[in-house]
Amino acid sequence: MNFLHSMIRVKDIEKSLRFYKELLGLNLLNKNSLEDCDLYFLGESEKECQIELTYNYETPAEGYSNGSGFGHFAFATNNMSEFCLKAKEMGYDFLYEPFELELKDEKGNSSFKKIAFIKDPDGNEIEIIEE
């Protein structure tokens, strides 16, 4: 079994494409049109897990809300400082500015990762992890 994609509905497809393509660096891999919506599949490649942005033609004026069970999507960056600079230049604010997270393995050994949280144009939380 392979995990293929996760779908989110978006209010403004142009703002969402700008966020996912220009800020996060995803590629538009496929676009399909149905009678009531357009489906945009973004990812690194056809063989990797993707995000499907669904733009319904009859979108509620206030957009969509997430249920209480959804948390966030996570993306890796090679350079948190460069990512933060680009995000701020593009006008995005951080939900949580970058901070160090201590991770412990089963033997108690510590390692640290730098993480941050930002929201996409529809309010979905995106975790950025420096690899």
Q: Which of 71, 59, 31, 29 is nearest to 46 (CA)?
A: 29
90 CB-near residues (< 8 Å, 6+ apart): 18, 22, 23
Instruction: Mark whether 35 is an active-site residue.
Output: no
CB 98 within 8 A of CB 115: yes
CB 32 within 8 A of CB 75: no
Around Cβ 31, how many Cβ atoms within 10 Å? 11
Q: What's the token pair of residue 56?
A: 């319904």
Neighbours of 37 (CB within 10 A): 15
Q: Among the options 82, 127, 130, 131, which is catalytic?
A: 127
Residue positions annotated with a catalytic role? 127
